[in-house]
Amino acid sequence: MALLNFFSTHRNNFFGWIMGITFGFLMSKAGATTYDFHAKMFLLENLRLMIVIGTSVTVAMVGVFILKRSKVKSIVTGQEVDFVKKPYQKGLVLGALLFGVGWGMTASCPGTIPAMIGEGKVAGLFALAGVIIGTMTYGVLQSYLMMARRYAAAEQEKLDLDAFCQQPPTDKE
Amino acid sequence: MDILVWPAVPAGIALGLFVIFHFWLMGKPAGCSTGYGNFCGMVTSKIEYFRVGEYAKINNSKLWFLLGIPLGGFLSAMTSPEPWTFSFSMGMYDTILPQTLAGKAIWIVFGGILLGFGARLAGACTTGHALVGGAMLNPPSLLAGGVFFFSAFITTQLLFGS
């Protein structure tokens, strides 16, 4: 069983890697790793990238519809395909605004940065460092929030216990 | 060096087919920015957030997806007419970015921080929200995708001063 798990994890990772290579190649060939196409799109001089994303979303929409209807099973996992949607989360609009500023400043996004590095674009290395620092910062903040929530829960438990023992709470009113 | 690109419509169709095939093969939506969280969990065990929830299993296909992308970019460069070289040039951006190399590097790192932090706060990046979320007509993704474009549009207009 352990061996089977080992094999399935690595098969998953292997196909993930192959898909990553394909994605990097396609993003590059679509022009998403070429800085000027980003500038020209937002300056409304050349809408190439807009056409790329519009076409791909339309094609993918049809494909997703067909896959959903046919209840197709995943090739790698053998389970039904999970069309999980990203939920709305607090901070989505603020996060999206910050992301957009970063996009405008660097003409790159988390998916194109690794491809840019593969193409030999040195700026991609700095952008990568930035994305890692930004992700790290978010994780640190979230970890503090998790800690604070646990602390609050523990405090509440203590209060509840005090009430249960019918002792007037001594601190923390 | 310049990358030889495909015409927009075939490139878009190829990316659309990629999104569909990713669902079929991997059984889940394609995404990029989440993999950076896996990377963070890999380099340090001190940050609890990168060790629980969706990051409980760090060494997963999302991380390997991310690790595959540079090779794809390299292959694309190899199939372009110009030889592969290192280059710090950023085309049109070279005229408006800080003129010293250090200044340019700091600018890009800062922009990258906004990308990384913003993507986590929004839940996904251009791939997860605009491309894949858009294809599923997921309302939060459409909102996020719209704000991505709006905010980047304003930023670029301000930068190029037009």
Q: How far apart are CA A111 and CA B109, in angstroms?
A: 16
Q: Give me the amino acid identity at A85.
A: K
Per-range mean pLDDT, top range of A80-84, A130-134, B54-58, B78-82: A130-134
Same domain, A1 and A81: yes
**Average pLDDT score over residue span A2-9:** 68
Give the integer Cα–Cα distance in Å for A106 and B93.
Answer: 9
Q: What is the mean pLDDT of residues A2-18?
A: 81
What residue type is B107 in one-letter code? W
Whether A129 has its CB under 8 Å from any CB of chain B: the answer is yes
- In the beta sheet, which residues pair with residue A121? B87
> Does the structure show a pLDDT above 80 at A48?
yes
Is the model's pLDDT at A2 over the cut of 70? no
Question: Counting one residue from A and one from B, how many pairs have CB atoms under 8 Å apart?
Answer: 503
Are both A72 and A6 inside the same structural domain? Answer: yes
- Residue A65 exposed, middle or buried by CB count within 10 Å (0-12, 13-18, 19+): middle
Mapped onto helix, strand or coil, the DSSP state of residue B60 is coil
Q: Which residues of A touch B95 (CB under 8 A)?
A: none
Tokens of A24: 């990097």
Contacts of B151 in chain A (CB under 8 A): 96-101, 103-104
CB A23 within 8 A of CB B68: yes
- Average predicted confidence (pLDDT) for chain A: 92
Query: Which domain covers residue A137, as residue numbers?
Result: 87-173
Among residues A85, A110, A127, which one ends one of the domains?
A85
Which percentage of chain A shows pLDDT scores above 90?
A: 80
Which among A15, A18, A64 is the nearest to B136, CB-wise? A64
Q: CA-CA distance, B67 to B69, in Å (whole number)? A: 6
**What is the reported pLDDT for A168?**
61
Q: Are residues A51 and A10 in the same domain?
A: yes
Instruction: Check residue B50 and give its pLDDT.
Output: 94
CA distance B108 to chain A (A): 5
Contact partners, residue A3, CB within 8 Å, separation at least 6:
none
> What is the predicted pLDDT for the residue at A170?
63
Nearest to A127 among B111, B122, B147 (CB): B111
**Across residues A123-136, what is the average pLDDT?**
97
pLDDT of A1 = 62
For chain B positions 50-69, those within 8 Å of chain A (CB to CB) are 50, 52, 59-69
**Least trusted range by pLDDT, from A107-111, A137-141, A168-172:** A168-172
DSSP one-letter code for B33:
T
Residues of A in contact with B37 (CB under 8 A): 135, 139
Q: pLDDT band for position A63 (50/70/90)?
A: very high
The more confident residue out of A5 and B48 is: B48
Q: How many CB atoms lie within 10 A of CB B56?
A: 10
Cα–Cα nearest to A109, from B160, B145, B116: B116
Residue B142's Cβ-count burial label (10 Å; 0-12, 13-18, 19+) is middle
Confidence of residue A165 (pLDDT cuts 50, 70, 90): confident
Kindly state whether residues A98 and A158 are assigned to the same domain: yes
Comparing alpha-carbon positions, the chain A residue that sits nearest to B33 is A110
A-proximal residues of B, 68-97, CB under 8 Å: 68-77, 84-88, 90-93
Are A134 and A52 contained in the same domain?
no
A173 lies in the same domain as A91: yes
Note whether B13 and A60 are within 8 A (CB).
Answer: no
Å between A158 CA and nearest CA of chain B: 24
Whether residues A161 and A119 fall in one domain: yes
Please give the pLDDT value at position B119: 97
Three-state SS sequence of chain A? CHHHHHHHHHHHHHHHHHHHHHHHHHHHHHCCCCHHHHHHHHCCCCCHHHHHHHHHHHHHHHHHHHHHHHCCECCCCCCECCCCCCCCCCCHHHHHHHHHHHHHHHCCCCCHHHHHHHCCECHHHHHHHHHHHHHHHHHHHHHHHHHHHHHHHHHHHHHHHHHHCCCCCCCCC
**Contact state of B48 with A9 under an 8 Å Cβ cutoff:** no
Question: Is A80 found in the same domain as A159?
Answer: no
Q: How many CB atoms lie within 10 A of CB A7?
A: 10
Residues A2 and A77 in one domain: yes
Give the pLDDT confidence score for residue B2 in this predicted structure.
Answer: 86
Final residue in a domain of this structure, among A85, A117, A140: A85
Residue of A nearest to B153 (CA): A42
Low-confidence ranges of chain B (pLDDT < 70): 162
Q: How many angstroms separate the CA atoms of B158 and A3, rounded?
A: 56
A148 pLDDT higher than 70: yes
**Test the A interface: residue of B121, B127, B162 with most A CBs within 10 Å:** B121
Which candidate from B47, B70, B76 shows the least CB-CB separation from A139?
B47
Residue of B nearest to A111 (CA): B32
Q: What angle do CA A114, A115, A121 make, to 5 degrees?
A: 90
Smallest Cβ distance to B155: which of A40, A92, A100?
A100
- Give the mean pLDDT of A70-83: 91
Compute the distance between CA of residue B63 and CA of residue B45 in angstroms, rounded to an integer. Answer: 16
Tokens of B78: 């190899």
Q: What is the pLDDT of residue A172?
A: 56
Looking at the structure, do residues A73 and A104 belong to the same domain, yes or no?
A: no
| Domains in chain A, number | 2
The band of A169, judged by pLDDT with boundaries at 50, 70 and 90, is low
Of A85, A114, A141, the residue at which a domain comes to its end is: A85
Is there a single domain that holds both residue A59 and residue A115? no
Residues of A in contact with B120 (CB under 8 A): 95, 134-135, 138-139
What's the confidence (pLDDT) of residue A94? Answer: 97
Whether A97 and A44 map to the same domain: the answer is no
